[in-house]
Structure 1
Amino acid sequence: MFDYSSIALSYDSDPTGADSLLPENRAVYFRLKRVLDILCALVFLPVMIVIGIVLLALNPFFNQGPLLYVQKRMGRNCRAFPAIKFRTMRTATQIVRGADDPLEVHRITRLGWLLRKTRLDELPQILNVLRGDMSMIGPRPDYFHHARRYARVIPGYRARHLVRPGISGLAQVELGYAAGIDATAAKVAADLHYIRHAGYRLDTLIFWRTLVTVVTGRGT
């Protein structure tokens, strides 16, 4: 596991922080990475379609309700975008969980647990990648209204939005699911580490560890 204890960047109070976090060589890498994102998304698009068809057949028995779930999340430059997922929870009229509340595990369906453990619930975000909202690898996007709270209280939170959010990321494979202010602060430190050190080697490592999670079902 990486050591993030020395990372304490406050983008809110240091307007020059963005330049030191994302030097030109990293900025160039993130621009070139867009081509790889599109190619990778096109490769996985048929997989997403097949899994979607299987879920359509299984949902009436194990996960009643719509196939997809769309949630407003905070993306690049702190702008909102609609993130697409395979639904894993029973439908609700509105989100009542606060920014520092634990996950509503009582709402997760039997099939939803499997999707979350294997991270296959995130697969429809391939469409977000093709739209340009997301990258294959990058900081995981938070629910927009929670993210606005985090941006006010967590140092460096805004800086993690200098790049496109990812379907998977360093914080996700290192720390797992983050719920609440403290866990999100640790996630931010990992995300800033990723932005500073992003490259083909680190992205390949994250991609590999994500595949291992899909195969072994060790996600949360």
Structure 2
Amino acid sequence: MFSRLQRFYTSIKVATDVCMLTVAFALAYATRFIGLIPVKDGIPPLEETAVSLAMALAIFPYTFHQSRLYITNRARTHFGELFAVFKASITATLILVALTYFTRERYSRLTLALFLGYALVLVSVTRLVLRVALSEVRRRGYNLKTILVIGEGALGRRVVETVREHRELGFRVVGVLAQDAAKVGRRVRGAPVLGELSEVERILDAWPVDQVIIALPLEEQLVVKGLMEQLALRTVDVKVVPDLYQYITLYGGLEEFGGLPIISLQGDPMDGWSRVAKRAFDIVFSLVAIVLTAPLMLVTAVLVKLTSRGPVLYAQERMGIDGRTFPILKFRTMRTDAEVAGATMASQEDPRRTPIGTFLRKYSIDELPQFFNVLRGDMSLVGPRPERPVFIEEFKRQIPRYHLRHKVKSGITGWAQINGLRGQTSIQKRIEYDLYYIENWSLLMDLKILVRTALGGFLSKNAY
């Protein structure tokens, strides 16, 4: 029921946005070609206008989705909502302009500019109206479904918190049943403890309950069996929250396979079109980067060759997505005998560096050949920085959830790197930033990280 209601509200948002975007495009067209603005080059054919509208109706909702405008975010203020719509609309318009430029011989820039203006106003206004209307409905308590939570432990507390955070779905916790009799009369996250588990039938007779949610730990499964036998004689809806959420590490949840419910504890954060979009993003931007940095790479190669004996490039084994290893490319910044005694991490005053190595590392110029790793598919432009397998075994034993960073492709730059976590900084902190990136990934976030990197995100005091 929760997921159905969430999808229902999301569908309302999508449908409203599509309607407003259609109206905005119609107003822009009318203003430009039927209004007071002189038409010098003639009115575009109806087929051309229909194609532009179709592209807009595909690009804008997708960009809004990538900007997380279709998720429930009660903490977001009205101003925050408007600013998020503004940023996503600007991005979507730029994508639309680019596509029309490459797919059609002519298009009206003024029409698209007018469309952006109208879209910002109409989408923003309708979203504010929906937010205010939902808040008023919730405040008045209309059409609420009442819930009784069985279990006052960590799982029960999480259920109560989740229901309270999503009041727009129309649910209210009337109370909690506890395993410990001493907790009767107390409160769990604001919900009163009405009685013990054995009193479930009395509570259901005394309180108007539409739904019962059983949230008991794994060791109490025998108790669940008895509760289900009692609840089977009632018309109340019954749902069970499995005590597995502490094991859900990344993109877990309930899935269905041929009608068989399956609990996923660890999933793939990027699949389907998300994977395709990120790969296309990597190919386009890495090609552009190779063209722009080609002169610098040529000069660097010459300097490396002139200042030290050995090859220009250095291929080092690193671990990437799904634990697969690959040779990462770098301009050589150390002597050829640097690791005769074994693999060691670089340090600030590392005596193994070549005369030009310190400079190349400080400004991350040695990383430029990795754009070819991206083109080959070994890496992504943005993602967790790949580590050497010889160090990873130690990190996995010391740092919980370390292995989850290998659920996505490694990157040339990442969320941790633009926040100064390079070199011999905290591995634990780096993992926290890497997992935050994976859990909140979007193409817009990738673009933001690349922009910050280009503006100096790699110029860190920890770069050596």
TM-score (structure 1 length as normaliser) = 0.80
In 2, the alpha carbon distance for the partners of 1:78 and 1:103 equals 29
In 2, the alpha carbon distance for the partners of 1:163 and 1:152 equals 20
Pairing partner for 2:314 from 41, 52, 69: 69
Residue 383 of structure 2 contacts residue 408 of structure 2 at CA under 8 Å; is this kept in 1? yes
1:183 alignment counterpart: 426
2:251 alignment counterpart: 19
Q: CA offset at residue 95 of structure 1?
A: 6.1
RMSD, matched Cα: 2.8
Does 2:449 correspond to 1:206?
yes
Does 2:347 correspond to 1:94?
no
Q: CA offset at residue 147 of structure 1?
A: 1.4
Does 2:260 correspond to 1:38?
no
In 1, the alpha carbon distance for the partners of 2:405 and 2:296 equals 31
Q: CA offset at residue 105 of structure 1?
A: 1.7
Residue 63 of structure 1 contacts residue 112 of structure 1 at CA under 8 Å; is this kept in 2? no
Which stretch has the larger CA shift, 69-78 or 208-217?
208-217
2:401 alignment counterpart: 156
> 1:116-174: CA deviations, max 9, x gaps?
12211111111111111100000000112111221222111100110000000011111
- DSSP-derived class of the 1:17 partner: coil
In 1, the alpha carbon distance for the partners of 2:292 and 2:340 equals 31
Residues 216 and 24 of structure 1: is their aligned pair in 2 closer, same or farther, counting only changes over 3 Å?
A: closer
Q: CA offset at residue 23 of structure 1?
A: 7.1
In 2, the alpha carbon distance for the partners of 1:154 and 1:49 equals 39
Residue 22 of structure 1 contacts residue 196 of structure 1 at CA under 8 Å; is this kept in 2? no
> 1:21-67: CA deviations, max 9, x gaps?
98788545344111010111111223454333212322244344321
2:179 alignment counterpart: none
What is the aligned-residue identity percentage?
Answer: 35
Residues 157 and 215 of structure 1: is their aligned pair in 2 closer, same or farther, counting only changes over 3 Å?
A: closer
Which stretch has the larger CA shift, 186-195 or 26-35?
26-35
In 2, the alpha carbon distance for the partners of 1:134 and 1:167 equals 7
Q: CA offset at residue 104 of structure 1?
A: 6.5
Residues 104 and 137 of structure 1: is their aligned pair in 2 closer, same or farther, counting only changes over 3 Å?
A: same
Residue 77 of structure 1 contacts residue 162 of structure 1 at CA under 8 Å; is this kept in 2? yes
- DSSP-derived class of the 2:251 partner: helix
Residue 135 of structure 1 contacts residue 166 of structure 1 at CA under 8 Å; is this kept in 2? yes
Does 2:304 correspond to 1:59?
yes
Read off the aligned partner of 1:196 and give its amino acid letter: E
Read off the aligned partner of 1:206 and give its amino acid letter: I
In 1, the alpha carbon distance for the partners of 2:302 and 2:354 equals 15
2:329 alignment counterpart: 84
Read off the aligned partner of 2:287 and give its amino acid letter: L
In 1, the alpha carbon distance for the partners of 2:247 and 2:332 equals 39
Pairing partner for 2:436 from 189, 193, 203: 193
Q: State which structure, 1 or 2, has the greater radius of gyration over its C-alpha atoms.
A: 2
> Larger RCO: Structure 1 or Structure 2 (Cα < 8 Å, ≥ 6 residues apart)?
1
- DSSP-derived class of the 2:381 partner: strand
Which stretch has the larger CA shift, 169-178 or 59-68?
59-68
Residue 415 of structure 2 contacts residue 433 of structure 2 at CA under 8 Å; is this kept in 1? yes
Read off the aligned partner of 1:65 and give its amino acid letter: G
In 1, the alpha carbon distance for the partners of 2:349 and 2:390 equals 17
- DSSP-derived class of the 1:82 partner: strand
Residue 119 of structure 1 contacts residue 213 of structure 1 at CA under 8 Å; is this kept in 2? no
In 2, the alpha carbon distance for the partners of 1:185 and 1:156 equals 10
Residues 214 and 196 of structure 1: is their aligned pair in 2 closer, same or farther, counting only changes over 3 Å?
A: closer
Which stretch has the larger CA shift, 24-33 or 103-112?
24-33
1:165 alignment counterpart: 410
Which stretch has the larger CA shift, 162-171 or 142-151?
142-151
In 2, the alpha carbon distance for the partners of 1:215 and 1:79 equals 26
- DSSP-derived class of the 1:159 partner: helix
1:10 alignment counterpart: none
In 1, the alpha carbon distance for the partners of 2:266 and 2:438 equals 7
Q: Which runs of 5+ in 1 are unaligned?
A: 1-13
Residue 213 of structure 1 contacts residue 219 of structure 1 at CA under 8 Å; is this kept in 2? no
In 1, the alpha carbon distance for the partners of 2:247 and 2:309 equals 48
Residues 50 and 199 of structure 1: is their aligned pair in 2 closer, same or farther, counting only changes over 3 Å?
A: same
Q: CA offset at residue 213 of structure 1?
A: 2.3
> 1:55-97: CA deviations, max 9, x gaps?
2322244344321111100100111111111111122253624
Q: Which runs of 5+ in 2 are unaligned?
A: 1-245, 253-264
TM-score (structure 2 length as normaliser) = 0.40
Residue 62 of structure 1 contacts residue 109 of structure 1 at CA under 8 Å; is this kept in 2? yes
